Amino acid sequence: MPAILPLPVNPWYVCLSKPRREAVAVRKLEEQGYEVFLPMLTRWEKARGGWKKQQEVMFPRYCFVRCGRPEQSIAPIRSTPGVTGLVSFGTVPATLDDATLAAIRSLTERQARAMDEEKFPFQAGDSVDIAAGPLKGMSGIVSTVATERVTVMLTLLGREKPVAVPAAHLQLA
């Protein structure tokens, strides 16, 4: 008979939410007294009139949950609105140790700080692809950045030339 490993004292469980219902699941789990962590990433998104920062879930449909009180059961989790259930291997729920969760939390915090420092999605030295306009399909390196236009070094007719391109026509390579 295989050895049964004891669960950590207060483990983090991997919770599966319904599609695009992570926020509802987190709110309802927190209302029940569970400690919940939903890792989020920030990305640039094209918007009318420019670019804006947008938050997105790092692991779509997944969040991490643990009991907020020692006597709290994990049984009510699966009937929580927005939740499909706990991820499990057979009958044993999947768990994460504190170190793994701390590493994920640290990664999301570092990424958020880096995005806070950026005022624009493109920085000098970035490799970009031109996704629209007459130069569509070409690639280059960002030279300078302005509010509406980005100067990209393109190889045209065998020579490097700076070309001003609308920021909306670019995407990171």
Domain holding 167: CATH number?
2.30.30.30
Rounded distance between C-alpha atoms, residue 96 and residue 117, angstroms: 31
Residues 26 and 103 in one domain: yes
Residues 92 and 145 in one domain: no
Query: How many structural domains is the chain composed of?
Result: 2
| Dihedral-angle region of residue 125 (phi above 0 means left; psi in -120 to 50 means alpha; beta otherwise) | left
pTM value is 0.67
Residue 77 and residue 4 in contact, taking contact as beta carbons nearer than 8 Å: no
Question: Has residue 173 got a pLDDT over 70?
Answer: yes
| Structure token digits, residue 79 | 């009937």
Within-domain flag for 4: no
**What range does the domain containing 108 cover?**
12-117
Q: Residue holding tokens 């699966």?
A: 78
- Residue 9 CA, chain-centre distance (Å), reads 29
Residues 113 and 131 in one domain: no
CATH number at residue 106: 3.30.70.940
Within-domain flag for 49: yes
| Structure token digits, residue 43 | 């990305």
Residues 136 and 112 in one domain: no
Instruction: Name, of 6-10, 116-120, 152-156, the range with top average pLDDT.
Output: 152-156
Residues 71 and 145 in one domain: no
Residues 112 and 134 in one domain: no
* Average pLDDT value for residue range 76-99: 94
Q: What is the pLDDT of residues 3-56, one digit of tens each?
A: 555 555 789 999 999 999 999 999 999 999 999 999 998 887 766 666 677 889
